């Protein structure tokens, strides 16, 4: 527990909540000045940005070059603005980490699992870390329920690895008077169920895949908790999984959150269950594959995010391979921020399978969601290796695998896709990443994701 971090986080959260009551035009004007300051600082303090932005002096943000994760990691030592930070030392620090601790005595370092390619490493000084935590705390308040400090039991079911952001945030805000328990999302379901029954949490934060399994436990009588809020994040919350969780705990209690290690909170649901973006901390651009703006109502191929509160490792027009749909309709909840209609997941989760007329065709996970999300199972996962598809069903003892296989083949054929084979296999548990996530689509070992 760091008392100064806790105090600064409370103050920063209060400042952000003030923005929630300010006119959007006023906030965006302040944000525009913040963007210019960030760009100037990056060019003056980062050898990488001095070179990367050469020739773009005076250009608006939307015309600056795009920063990919690959480029960021390849030029890491030149991109960071503290010359004492070296990637080799950062990696060594995380490899030796058994519990969250500071790098060089003053930096928090988080890492992504590498599920979408090379691992990413992200460095935060104290003020940047405070801003990231405050973004999460402010977002959790948008649902309108409120989370008092003298709170009934809280459960965080997420990654247990010390380099993951949720573990680091938890260690920063550990308070002796708050009953908050962390549980490993990759642990056995029956043990998790037993421990939640013992804790009886009133606030639960977890991945949708875990939320689905727990909702089934609740509906089948093995889990008996009454949370006021169930907060999901880190995976796509599909309509069917949301409906299952609402059946277990009530529609007014399930809220979704969208964030990233790189950015902190990107968007969170309000009391009307609409995803509002944190536009005072970020500039979020929805673009196609050529980085051209995508209008509201159309799914972006990716996002370009500029993080206004990061100086140690500036991220300007940083590429995140998430497919989202911006809404053209505002919200009457009182928040000034724009709304995301939905988050569809990462581009890497798009399957690329043989097309009936030759070549290949992209298949969105929604094709499988329509068939599998409504089954009375603990979860599902699709693995693609070359031209073959394998569907894994967890907790599916009473399910007719052949019938499911025929429905999947029919759905794929309607989309002009003809995989070499489709196999439906029942498993005890789904495979999860190092951080405990269970993505709906995984590539089999030895096969890469290639664009058409």
Does the pLDDT value for residue 78 go beyond 80? yes
Structure-model confidence comparison of residues 114 and 431, the more confident one: 431
Does the pLDDT value for residue 33 go beyond 80? yes
C-alpha to C-alpha distance for 214 and 211, rounded to whole angstroms = 5
pLDDT band at 268 (very low <50, low <70, confident <90, very high): very high
pTM of the predicted model over 0.85: no
Structure-model confidence comparison of residues 449 and 136, the more confident one: 136
Does the pLDDT value for residue 173 go beyond 70? no
Q: What is the number of other CB atoms lying within 10 angstroms of the CB of residue 186?
A: 22
Q: How many CA atoms are closer than 13 Å to the CA of 111, on its beta-carbon side?
A: 23
Does the pLDDT value for residue 332 go beyond 80? yes
pLDDT of residue 445: 41
Copy the structure tokens of residue 51.
Answer: 């070179």
Does the pLDDT value for residue 436 go beyond 80? no
144-169, pLDDT tens digit by residue? 755 544 457 888 887 767 676 666 66
Residue whose token pair is 């002096």: 57
pLDDT band at 449 (very low <50, low <70, confident <90, very high): very low
195-246, pLDDT tens digit by residue? 999 999 988 988 888 898 899 999 999 999 999 899 998 888 888 889 999 9
pLDDT of residue 446: 38
Closest CA to 429 of 396, 400, 451, 403: 396
pLDDT of residue 255: 94
User: Where does residue 407 rank: exposed (0-12), middle (13-18), buried (19+ CB within 10 A)?
Assistant: middle
Domains and their CATH numbers in the chain: 1-345 (3.40.50.12780), 350-443 (3.30.300.30)
Report the percentage of the chain scoring pLDDT > 70: 83
Does the pLDDT value for residue 124 go beyond 90? yes
pLDDT band at 320 (very low <50, low <70, confident <90, very high): very high
Centroid of chain to Cα 248? 24
Structure-model confidence comparison of residues 13 and 445, the more confident one: 13
367-420, pLDDT tens digit by residue? 776 677 667 777 778 877 667 888 888 878 888 888 888 888 888 887 787 877
pLDDT of residue 85: 97
């Amino acid at each position: 527990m760091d008392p100064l971090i806790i105090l600064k986080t409370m103050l920063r959260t209060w400042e952000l909540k003030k923005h929630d009551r300010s006119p959007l035009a006023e906030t965006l004007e302040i944000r525009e000045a913040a963007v210019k300051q960030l760009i100037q600082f990056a060019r003056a303090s980062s050898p990488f940005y001095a070179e990367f932005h050469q020739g773009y002096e005076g250009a608006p943000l939307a015309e600056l070059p795009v920063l990919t994760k690959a480029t960021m990691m390849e030029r890491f030592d030149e991109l960071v603005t503290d010359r004492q930070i070296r990637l080799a030392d950062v990696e060594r620090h995380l490899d030796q980490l058994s519990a969250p601790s500071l790098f060089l005595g003053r930096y928090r370092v988080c890492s992504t699992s590498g599920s979408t390619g090379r691992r990413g490493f992200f460095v935060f000084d104290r003020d940047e870390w405070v801003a990231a935590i405050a973004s999460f705390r402010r977002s959790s308040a948008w649902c309108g329920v409120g989370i008092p400090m003298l709170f009934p039991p809280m459960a965080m079911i997420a990654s247990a690895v010390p380099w993951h952001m949720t573990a680091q945030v938890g260690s920063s805000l550990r308070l002796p008077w708050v009953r908050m328990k962390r549980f490993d999302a990759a642990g056995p379901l029956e043990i998790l169920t037993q421990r939640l029954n013992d804790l009886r949490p009133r606030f639960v934060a977890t991945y949708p895949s875990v939320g689905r399994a727990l909702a089934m436990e609740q509906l089948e009588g093995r889990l008996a908790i009454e949370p006021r809020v169930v907060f999901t994040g880190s995976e796509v919350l599909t309509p069917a999984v949301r409906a299952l969780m609402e059946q277990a705990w009530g529609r007014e209690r399930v809220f979704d959150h969208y964030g990233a290690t790189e950015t902190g909170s990107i968007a969170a649901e309000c009391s009307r269950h609409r995803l509002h973006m944190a536009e005072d901390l970020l500039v979020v651009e929805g673009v196609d594959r050529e980085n051209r703006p995508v209008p509201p109502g159309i799914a972006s191929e990716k996002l370009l995010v500029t993080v206004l509160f990061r100086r140690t490792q500036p991220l300007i027009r940083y590429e995140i391979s998430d497919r989202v749909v911006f809404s053209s309709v505002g919200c009457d909840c009182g928040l000034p921020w724009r709304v995301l209609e939905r988050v569809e997941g990462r581009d890497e989760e798009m399957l690329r399978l043989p097309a009936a007329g030759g070549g290949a065709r992209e298949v969105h996970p929604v094709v499988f969601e329509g068939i599998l999300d409504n089954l009375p199972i603990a979860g599902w996962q699709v693995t693609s290796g070359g031209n073959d598809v394998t569907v894994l069903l967890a907790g599916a003892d009473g399910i007719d695998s052949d019938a499911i296989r025929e429905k999947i083949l029919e759905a794929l054929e309607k989309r002009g896709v003809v995989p070499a084979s489709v196999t439906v296999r029942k498993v005890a548990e789904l495979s999860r990443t190092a951080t405990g996530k269970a993505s709906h689509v995984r590539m089999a070992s030895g096969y890469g994701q290639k664009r058409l």
